Amino acid sequence: MLISQVGNPDGSITVVVREEGGQARAVKGAASVYALAMEAATSGRSLKAVIDAKGLGDEVDLEEAYADGRLLSPITHPDAAHLHLTGTGLTHLGSAATRDSMHKKTTEAAEETLTDSMKMFRMGLENGKPKPGEKGVQPEWFYKGNGSQAVAPGAALTSPSFALDGGEEPEMAGIYIIAADGSPFRIGFAVSNEFSDHVTERINYLYLAHSKLRQASFGPEIRVGAAPDDIRGFSRILRGGAVLWEKPFVSGEANMSHTFANLEYHHFKYGLFRAPGDVHVHMFGTATLSFGDGIRTEEGDVFEIGADGFGLPLRNPLAIAGEDEIEIRQL
C-alpha cells in the first residue's frame, strides 16, 4: 500500500492511499498520516487495519495534485520541531562493476593505509549484518535538521548562499513514529533526496556535519511495510527540460553492507530519539552521485528520483538562497 498527503485550500489534509498502479482514494475521516499512524500505534492495530476501518472515499488524481503543487510531504508533524531528519552513509556496496575491487581494496590494504571512510566501510562489510539476536557495528550517522528542513515533493530544494555545492543523493528513507510509551514504529519506506554540499565535505571529512545541514525531500508516497531486498531506481538531473545526467541507483539489503534493522537499532538506541509523538525520517545512504561524475548543479536544475514499487517519482528544482545578514547581539 502507498500512502500520501494532499494539501487543501483551507489548510486541511487529504490522506490518500492506493496500490501501485491502482486508483488513489481519500481515507475517510483521516486528519493526516501522522494522526493515522499514532492511532495505529496507540490501539495496537496495523496502519492498514486503521485505514480499512475508516473506509475509502472519493478518487484523487495524484498527478494533477502534483502538477498543481498540492502534494505535501507524505508525513508531517503538527510541530515541525518534532520531526527529525537524519541519515547514515557508507552503507551500500556500490555497483556490481566496482564491488569486487572495493572488497579487495578493503581486505588487502594495511590498516594504517586506509582512510577513515574506508575503515568505516570495511567495518560494515565485516559486521553490518549481524545474526538475529546480535548487535552489529554502528554506522556513520549524521543530522540534517528538523521538519522545517523537509521540502515537499515538487517544491524547491534551496541551497544556502554560503554553500559550495548543492547536489542530490538518491536514497531510501525509513519513516517512523514514536508511540506514547516511547516505542518506535516503522510506517514504511520512501524515496528521498538527501540534498548535500559535496564540495564542502571533500575539503575535509570533518566538515561532513556542515555539509549535511541542508534541506531534504522525500516521497511523494510512503510504501507501507517492509522494504524489498533488491530496490532498483533511477536518479536524473534535468536542465532546461533536457536530461543533463542520469544513472540507475540500487538499494535494499541485497545491495547494502548493513541490514535495515542494524541501522534502525543504532539510531533508536538513543533515548533522545524515542520521545513520544516524534516523527523520524532516516535516510539510509547511496552509492550513486552526479557529483562523482563531475556534475556541478545550477539554479533551476530539477532533480528527479524514482524507484520501482515506491509510487510517483520525487521531483525538486534547485534554488539558491540570498545572503543572510547575521548579527549576534549581546543581551
> Grid cell 567495518 — which residue?
123
Residue-wise pLDDT for 141-180, tens only, equals: 999 999 999 999 999 999 999 999 999 999 999 999 999 9
Question: How far is Cα of residue 160 from the mean position of the Cα atoms in its chain?
Answer: 20
The three cell numbers locating residue 290? 552526479
Strands 13-18 and 2-7, sheet pairing? antiparallel
Least confidently predicted of 64-73, 116-125, 224-233, 312-321: 116-125
d(CA 69, CA 58): 20
- pLDDT score, position 102: 36
- pLDDT score, position 103: 42
Residue-wise pLDDT for 249-301, tens only, equals: 999 999 999 999 999 999 999 999 999 999 999 999 998 999 989 999 999 99
Residue 173 near residue 218 (C-beta atoms within 8 A)? yes
CA distances from 156 to 239, 286, 315, 321 (A): 14, 21, 9, 11
- pLDDT score, position 116: 83
For the cut 50, the answer to whether the pLDDT of residue 101 exceeds it is no
DSSP state of 112: G
- pLDDT score, position 96: 34
Residue-wise pLDDT for 293-303, tens only, equals: 999 999 999 99
d(CA 221, CA 75): 9
Strands 222-224 and 231-239, sheet pairing? unpaired
The three cell numbers locating residue 6? 494532499
User: Which is more confidently placed, 98 or 11?
Assistant: 11
pLDDT average, residue stretch 54-69: 97
pTM for the predicted model, two decimal places: 0.94
User: Which is more confidently placed, 223 or 115?
Assistant: 223
Helix (H, G, I), strand (E, B) or coil at 42: helix
- pLDDT score, position 111: 62
Average pLDDT, rounded, for the chain: 93
Query: Residue 4 forms beta bridges with which residues?
Result: 16
Of 224, 129, 218, 130, the residue nearest 186 (C-alpha)? 224
